[in-house]
Amino acid sequence: MKKSYSKYSAKDDLLWLILRPWIFIPRVLYILLTFIFLFLRILFQGNSKNKNVQKKLSKYLFDVITDLGPCFIKLGQALSTRPDLVRQDWLTELTNLQDNLPAFDHKIALKIIEEELGAPVNEFFDEFPDSPIASASLGQVYKAKINNAYLAVKVQRPNLYFLIRRDVVILRFLATFLSPFLPLNIGVGIGEIIDEFGKALFDEIDYQKEAENALRFAYLFKENPNIFIPKLEKQFSSKRIITTSWIDGVKLRDRALLEENNLIPASFIKTCVISGLQQLFEFGYFHADPHPGNMFALKGGNADCGNLAYVDFGMMDSITNSDRLTLIKAIVHIINEEYFLLAEDFQKLGFLTKEQDLHQLVEPLKEVLGGSLGAEVGNFNLKNVTDKFSKLMYSYPFRVPSRFALIIRAVVSQEGLALRLDPEFKILKIAYPYIAKKLLTDNSEEILDILLEVVFDKKGQIQIEKVESLLNILFKDSDNINTDLIPVANAGLKLFVSKKGSEVRKNLLLSLIKDEKLEFTDAKKLIGLIRDTFSPLNIAKSAVQNFISTV
């Protein structure tokens, strides 16, 4: 009989557990005692310089998280992507949480397959192994063979719905109860954030939902030659089984592993980050669990952009069009150091209440984010910003809207993955040029409105310094100046002569009029800036580089 799962409901699930005190009370006590013992051991041994002590402590940490079950393993996986938060010897052990957990009984896996597909495995597959090739928090994967092709068959762990339902309720209860005593200040929404986590986990254990996600994700990236999504095998998939084509690649675990396979780590960092930015800022639909166990480096590609495969589409989420555009505006406002407008963006996104006096936040935001394009850009990463923000949040009423919980998790995990491959990686060096290029090449109405805000002030005058800043971000000190020149030049020309460009043309004409007189100073500066950036020599170099990259 096939399983039917309910959706997550904080109230209903809490009531369900409270009515079962023989389950609720022992489990709460066990979790509390486990963390007390873990805290004490870290307190007394965490600073030890003895390698053997640290090795045993990291193994103890792994065992504790594994023993606590799927919910806690998911939290541990997030930590395993952060080399800037977790010491290296612990990180090595935590990496095993991604796909090297203890497997459940093979006979149980075979029984689940038979229940879900209606017949034993030997009736479907030419070869089916006696043990899984990988074992993760929610299931284990077998490398099966049919018609001379290999498939990845993921089988869900038994009793998973009960375990997740029980522990999400307890996590919410403990977090809500203990949050006033913890050194955290994420606002009043900690329960809501755990609710988002719970909803995502409940979706993740529905493999039919994961199959739909995989198909949607593949469709969104169908035009991207560097992103690969395994093909779904519908006939071998169900509520607790999902089967896809086999991905033959190298996991993005560490730099040495990639180099051993003659792969260039930097190329995969760029593909990984750009694809993540595309998900957030173009598609509005993103992979919320991008840890190294779910991403593979493939042969092919080039030194600039490597070929990357995503797997495991259980934890996905969407961002609204309004939030997506506001985030783009926020990045533009950081680029232009417009901190009052940035505070307005935070308010619109729900990080600040409508009653908050935004003028009070201008200086604090400048202190946190100021100089990110200047001297400090070499030291800028999300960890530095979050450290500063954590201090800021004690003095000002910032809160994390629950709908951003998975977005933050995905972005932080992705930056952590990049830091594993390159400790010197700075996310802004890729994110800023991406946003700049999007503003200059995307002719959608919404992006055009943002571009007009950058080019013209409220009086309709050209903001030369902001246009120059935008072009500098995209072209100055970039490794790929030439590859972007022709696309930007083409897009700009098409926009200017198109029907959509009427607003640009009108604003340019109005900007020439000052005090009822024609004033060409700003126009001359703009023409000079465009001439220098898109000179015939630069365009020729761009054409050659684009030709070489396609050969």
Calculate the CA dihedral of residues 391, 392, 393, 394 and round it to 10 degrees: 60
How many angstroms separate the CA atoms of 219 and 42, rounded?
46
DSSP output for 131-149: S-SEE-SSEEEEEEEETTE
pTM of the entire predicted model: 0.80
Confidence at residue 376, expressed as pLDDT on a 0 to 100 scale? 45
Of the two residues 174 and 245, the one the predictor is more confident about is 245
For the segment 155-159, the average pLDDT, to the nearest whole number, is 93
Q: Report the SS3 class of residue 17.
A: helix
What single letter denotes the amino acid at residue 1? M
Residues 6+ apart with CB under 8 A from 277: 430, 431, 434, 435
The answer on pLDDT for 377 being more than 50 is no
261 CB neighbour count, 10 Å cutoff: 11
Is residue 101 a contact partner of residue 73, using CB atoms and an 8 Å limit?
Answer: yes
Mean per-residue pLDDT, 8-15: 88
The pLDDT assigned to 292 comes to 80
Strands 307-310 vs 227-228: parallel, antiparallel or unpaired: parallel
The answer to whether the beta carbons of residues 244 and 230 sit under 8 Å apart is yes
pLDDT digits (tens, 9 = 90+) for 39-64: 898 888 878 888 888 888 888 888 99
pLDDT value of position 183: 52
Q: CA-to-CA distance for 119 and 163, rounded, in angstroms?
A: 27
Determine what percent of the chain is predicted with pLDDT higher than 90: 28
3-state secondary structure 355-405: CCCHHHHHHHHHHHHCCCCCHHHHHCCHHHHHHHHHHHHHHCCCCCCHHHH
Q: Is the pLDDT of residue 143 over 80?
A: yes
Higher pLDDT, 384 or 360: 360
The secondary structure of residue 337, as a DSSP letter, is T
Residue 155: partners with Cβ closer than 8 Å, 6 or more residues away = 109, 112, 113, 132, 139, 140, 141, 142, 240, 241
Question: How would residue 287 be classed by pLDDT, with cut points 50, 70 and 90?
Answer: very high
**CA–CA distance, 20 with 11 (Å, rounded to integer):** 14
What angle do helix axes 502-511 and 521-533 make, rounded to 10 degrees?
A: 130
Residue among 244, 252, 246 nearest 271 (CA): 252
In angstroms, the CA 412 to CA 82 distance is 8
**DSSP H helical ranges for 69-159:** 70-79, 88-94, 106-117
The amino acid sitting at 388 is K
Q: For position 501, what pLDDT does the model report? A: 61
Q: Name the catalytic one among 99, 167, 289, 312.
A: 289
Q: Is 317 a catalytic residue?
A: no
